[in-house]
């Protein structure tokens, strides 16, 4: 009788197992916090204006036909079905609404609300995976250069999850999501795939990158234009020694992105020629901030005075979602600002570090970092009015900033106190990233306190 010998887990698996368990524990804590009494994500608490617009749009698509409405949104908010729309909203591409439409087709309103929750969990998981991939590859490069200890490879995976998954920019979208959310997720995945293409030197990866970028441009034309600008800057700003970087940072890629972005506007123009509906949306110059009025130019009651307000998400991105007598305390705004400033400082440190060390991953990181910056400056008035939904474009670059800041702190602790205390300090700070974001989200967003204000 032969004895069965159990294989020992490989040292590589044991190396990452504690950090994987940490991610599972944090995920369980996060779900527990959302399911706790008073914080439940039930249907009542999801009745925001944005979600009701989605619901009315998919109902209209089902009753009248997707092509009859040009695939555009009705932009009406109502929990009960309304008469056929006469006005449609032309500024947003509606690719992100399609999964909700199919959910409503198969399961009605209940399936629609479930898709709202599912899409946010999917986006959070995808962005956390993108940050983990980029962070791991960047750290691996530093390990090979003898500039980082090997145990950082596991720690950065844990830190990537804790910094990204509970991000306010993601979970605020459970009440207020639009086309840039989908494209931000696709752009994050494209950046991670480009980094993998650089690492493994396989055409497969940068072909996926090109596909994701074009899809992101179709999903949100504005994101496509910002990415095309980034690609053109990279075409002349990077050495492009790697084949993957050369293929992505090129004129053909930029023209493909501009062409994909133009698809939405061509569709809107052709549909407008039919004259069947009134098409609404903000004027281009208004979105660029080239206006003389400060109030009443957009959907929110905001005094627009300066381009700096486009970065108001650093201060209190949830403020515009809060109505009635509820206001954030001053200390919460200060803590919010400090947290985002830490992330921004870490991002600047990362870009400087990668430029100084001629990192092969500078192009992928720039691909995810430049578009939100260009967007914030170029379309400044529109971004200033919607800090809660624009924040998702900053999730990946700012999370990378937090991870690199953690890495530097851990290296300093290792040099002074040894590996044991470096791991303890690193795990504690990574968990603090997670804990602070979850607490702020639970306490500052009204949808977790009761009925969502109109």
> CA-based Rg of the chain, rounded to a whole angstrom?
23
Q: How many CA atoms lie within 13 A of 163 on its CB side?
A: 35
First to last CA, the chain: 73
As a whole number of angstroms, the distance between CA 263 and CA 271 comes to: 12
- Averaged pLDDT, groups of 10, the chain, 454 residues long: 50 77 94 72 74 94 92 90 91 93 94 93 96 96 85 93 95 88 96 95 92 96 96 90 90 96 94 90 78 60 76 77 61 89 96 90 95 92 83 96 95 91 94 94 73 50
Nearest CA among 409, 452, 373, 360 for reference residue 49:
452
Q: How many CA atoms lie within 13 A of 274 on its CB side?
A: 12
3-class SS string, the chain:
CCCCCCCCCCHHHHHHHHHHHHHHHHHHHHHHHHHCCCCCCCCHHHCCHHHHHHHHHHHHHHHHCCHHHCCCECCCCCCCCCCCCCEEECCCCCHHHHHHHHHHHHHHHHHHHHHHHHHHHHHHHHHHHHHHHHHHHHHHHHHHCCCCCCCHHHHHHHHHHHHHCCCHHHHHHHCCCCHHHHHHHHHHHHHHHHHHHHHHCCHHHHHHHHHHHHHHHHHCHHHHHHHHHHHHHHHHHCCCCCHHHHHHCCHHHHHHHHHHHHHHHHHHHHHHHCCCCEEECCCHHHHCCCCCCCCCCCCCCCCCCCHHHHHCHHHHCCHHHCCCCCCCCHHHHHHHHHHHHHHHHHHHHHHHHHHHCCCCCHHHHHHHHHHHHHHHHHCHHHHHHCHHHHHHHHHHHHHHHHHHHHHHHHHHHHHHHCHHHHHHHHHHHHHHHHHHHHHHHHHHCHHHCCCCCC
pTM: predicted TM-score of the whole model, two decimal places: 0.92
> Looking at residue 331, what is its pLDDT?
84
> Looking at residue 1, what is its pLDDT?
47
Place of tokens 């950065």: 156
> Looking at residue 325, what is its pLDDT?
47
């Amino acid at each position: 009788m032969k004895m069965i010998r159990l294989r020992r887990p490989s040292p590589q698996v044991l190396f990452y197992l504690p950090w994987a368990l940490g991610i599972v524990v944090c995920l369980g804590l996060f779900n527990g916090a959302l399911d706790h009494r008073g914080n439940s994500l039930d249907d009542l608490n999801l009745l925001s204006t944005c979600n009701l617009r989605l619901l009315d749009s998919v109902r209209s698509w089902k009753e009248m036909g997707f092509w009859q409405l040009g695939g555009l949104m009705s932009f009406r908010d109502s929990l009960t079905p309304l008469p056929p729309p006469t006005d449609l909203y032309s500024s947003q591409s509606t690719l992100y609404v399609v999964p909700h439409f199919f959910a409503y087709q198969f399961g009605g309103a209940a399936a629609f609300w479930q898709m709202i929750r599912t899409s946010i969990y999917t986006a959070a998981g995808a962005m956390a995976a993108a940050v983990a991939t980029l962070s791991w590859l960047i750290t691996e490069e530093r390990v090979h250069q003898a500039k980082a200890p090997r145990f950082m490879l596991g720690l950065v995976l844990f830190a990537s999850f804790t910094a990204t998954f509970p991000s306010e920019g993601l979970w605020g979208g459970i009440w207020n999501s639009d086309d840039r959310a989908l494209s931000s997720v696709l752009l994050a995945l494209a950046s991670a795939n480009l980094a993998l293409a650089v690492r493994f030197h396989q055409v497969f990866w940068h072909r996926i990158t090109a596909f994701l970028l074009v899809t992101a441009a179709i999903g949100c034309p504005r994101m496509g234009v910002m990415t095309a600008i980034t690609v053109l800057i990279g075409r002349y700003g990077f050495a492009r020694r790697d084949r993957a970087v050369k293929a992505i940072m090129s004129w053909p890629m930029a023209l493909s992105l501009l062409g994909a972005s133009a698809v939405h506007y061509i569709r809107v123009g052709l549909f407008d020629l039919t004259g069947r509906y009134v098409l609404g949306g903000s004027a281009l110059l208004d979105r660029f901030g080239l206006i003389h009025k400060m109030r009443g130019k957009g959907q929110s009651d905001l005094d627009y005075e300066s381009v700096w307000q486009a970065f108001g998400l650093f201060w209190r991105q949830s403020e515009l979602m809060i109505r009635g007598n509820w206001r954030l305390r001053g200390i919460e705004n200060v803590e919010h600002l400090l947290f985002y400033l830490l992330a921004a400082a870490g991002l600047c440190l990362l870009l400087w570090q990668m430029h100084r060390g001629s990192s092969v991953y500078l192009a992928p990181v720039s691909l995810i970092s430049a578009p939100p910056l260009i967007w914030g400056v170029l379309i400044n008035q529109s971004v200033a009015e919607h800090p809660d939904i624009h924040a998702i474009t900053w999730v990946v670059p700012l999370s990378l900033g937090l991870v690199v800041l953690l890495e530097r702190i851990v290296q300093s602790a290792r040099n002074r106190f040894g590996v044991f205390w470096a791991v303890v300090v690193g795990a504690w700070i990574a968990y603090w990233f997670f804990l602070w974001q979850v607490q702020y989200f639970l306490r500052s967003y009204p949808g977790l306190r009761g009925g969502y204000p109109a």
